[in-house]
Structure 1
């Protein structure tokens, strides 16, 4: 049985109890607000993580890649939304998925792709292409702009009148919450997005077009659990007819230091750490070197945290921070430039735990996750894409068997 000190580093370590609590908390938040949770899988890209996100039902997911869709379809999941703007080169793979799944939805952002589907690409026999229109409510990424009534009505009308397409609903990603100044700003963005979506759904309803799903996403917008999302969503509208139906957060399963800064979670709710080994002391320049470079941890946190020099916080050691990285090596310095590092506290060969600023990007650096439960460690068994998930042999009666597959 492995101990932390025996792990090869750098390594991505997960606390199973914490990520289970995170998933349970978000499911409870959705239920309390009379909403469905359609968990985004891009943070973890695993079967086991998706089981936790769905509360074991294996229903309602949104993905960012077709590989994720295929993984979940092959492992018995249903009601999957491919949450990336549909393009022509996706269609051969989406055909197989539509054939395989009872409920599979595609996201569209323009009329052209809908016309192409209608004119050139038939769905599987006795099925229709189920389409969701992505709305941009201020994030300024993909989607039909929320004020462009002519465009979203045109797209929705075309889908509604098509013989091969069916209209599922609308969705907006509150990505601008990641740039919010604080909780009040996050709530303001979320409420604006909700009201914009309800307004659009109301306009569509007046045209005889029903939104089966009305959803929004982003972990910050769904992590303020003291706000009743169900009530704030529907202010000024007929609650019996039109309301929000689902939320689409994803990062919450792991959380990270960015989410701590945004107020989405507390530090103890961050389920992931990057383990790195000290490989050298350099007192002349007041630095420690570690074996964690930018292939093991994203640099996204630099300049975006309270200490502008910091890439990653060192868990349990506020006196030092990770400040720079090359491909394979990280540079640890004093958090206070006026103070020297106490090198005797950090022997060469000992392990530091780094708190990622962005867990989605960091987890993508690893082919395997390490799972910790009750101070026991287990190494996830890697799988080739397309194979069924295999569970490792029993290591202890105290360990729940996990095998994490990363795409």
Structure 2
């Protein structure tokens, strides 16, 4: 829940801190809603990136309906605040059954995800935890080539999963879900268009086979921020989008062409704490505990962007300290960056960076307007 912050200006905040630009966030939300309206696709916004009630209220347009979560504490946060139609978008397993049953019993619409046939027995055995009249509402996760979780799109296991759910009196198939993670590969516009056509063909193919067996498939959906931020008309055949990162965007999305720099709604504020003139280097108070290591392996020379200082690069870190130098061997102007100078760094991966903070400072311009506290844990 939001609280009043003791600081009223960004320049007064303790560093490092995670800043959320509320104006940019709202624009990102509006853009995704408009994309879904044009394609006539429902938006099931994923909460995994921000994990806050306040952002979810914006992303759902205040409806407090139709979200996807990555953890049970997220589901509980939203259930406690009158949200409905919540999907735990994570493979179901026996250890999660009691907590999922508690959510299913108190909500009109709570869905779990079956990511393989091995997950079905716990749903069957866990039916005793459900109240009378309740059944497990299940999304079957399909792997359309990403190679992570889910049943391979061309496997007969997809049909067996649908049959098991249909024939069991305590389960019902709610839909098919795929995370098209291949969209995080760098693609030309043609490659992106071809990729989206392939996802549609594979997922709709599974739905068609299930329906041919008399198995209802109410919802077919896909999601990833690059896909949904750069959606082609072919995706209008889906029922649902479930992106998450778009709420903040980040430098990775920038490099993929999924957003512009002015669309990144989060950054880390950090102060210069040491000048190493002998090493032509600044040291800041934000190490991997405030920035994460994400992106450093993929793009060691430009994995993040320092706002308004294109000649500077954050290039290395330890637990609490980060190193900043001039690009291409330029001489640093140390008079411009005295100890105490605040730098604002757009992270490579906003999900990973946001997860490091117990609170977000929400601002409009220089003014801090609220503090949001993300839910933690699994």
Within-5 A mapping of 1:4-403: 4-122=10-128, 123-148=130-155, 150-224=156-230, 227-228=232-233, 232-233=234-235, 243-305=237-299, 308-337=300-329, 339-380=330-371, 403=372
CA RMSD after TM alignment:
1.4
- Cα deviations by residue, 1:91-144 (Å, 9 ceiling, x for unpaired): 110010001110011000222322332245322221110011100001100000
TM-score with structure 2 length normalisation? Answer: 0.95
Structure 1's 233 and 266: CA in aligned 2 closer, same or farther, altered over 3 A?
A: closer
Q: Please, which runs of 5 or more residues in structure 1 have no aligned partner?
A: 235-242, 381-402
Task: Please state how far the C-alpha of 1:216 moved relative to its aligned partner.
Answer: 0.3
Q: Please, which runs of 5 or more residues in structure 2 have no aligned partner?
A: 1-6
Quote the Cα distance in structure 2 between the aligned partners of 1:297 and 1:209: 47
Structure 1's 72 and 31: CA in aligned 2 closer, same or farther, altered over 3 A?
A: same
Task: Please state how far the C-alpha of 1:69 moved relative to its aligned partner.
Answer: 0.5
Task: Please state how far the C-alpha of 1:202 moved relative to its aligned partner.
Answer: 0.7
252-261 or 177-186, which moves further after superposition? 177-186
Q: Matched residue of 1:28: which SS?
A: helix
Residues 307 and 343, structure 2, Cα contact 8 Å, conserved in 1: yes
- Cα deviations by residue, 1:263-285 (Å, 9 ceiling, x for unpaired): 11100000001000000111111
Task: Please state how far the C-alpha of 1:299 moved relative to its aligned partner.
Answer: 1.5
309-318 or 87-96, which moves further after superposition? 309-318
Quote the Cα distance in structure 2 between the aligned partners of 1:325 and 1:244: 43
Structure 1 segments (4+ residues) deviating >4 Å:
none
209-218 or 369-378, which moves further after superposition? 369-378
Residues 183 and 262, structure 1, Cα contact 8 Å, conserved in 2: no
Structure 1's 110 and 103: CA in aligned 2 closer, same or farther, altered over 3 A?
A: same
Aligned residue-pair number? 369
- Cα deviations by residue, 1:232-255 (Å, 9 ceiling, x for unpaired): 147xxxxxxxx4100010000000
Task: Please state how far the C-alpha of 1:379 moved relative to its aligned partner.
Answer: 4.5
Structure 1's 281 and 119: CA in aligned 2 closer, same or farther, altered over 3 A?
A: closer
Specify which structure has the bigger relative contact order, considering alpha-carbon pairs within 8 angstroms and separated by 6 or more residues: 2
More helix, by proportion:
2
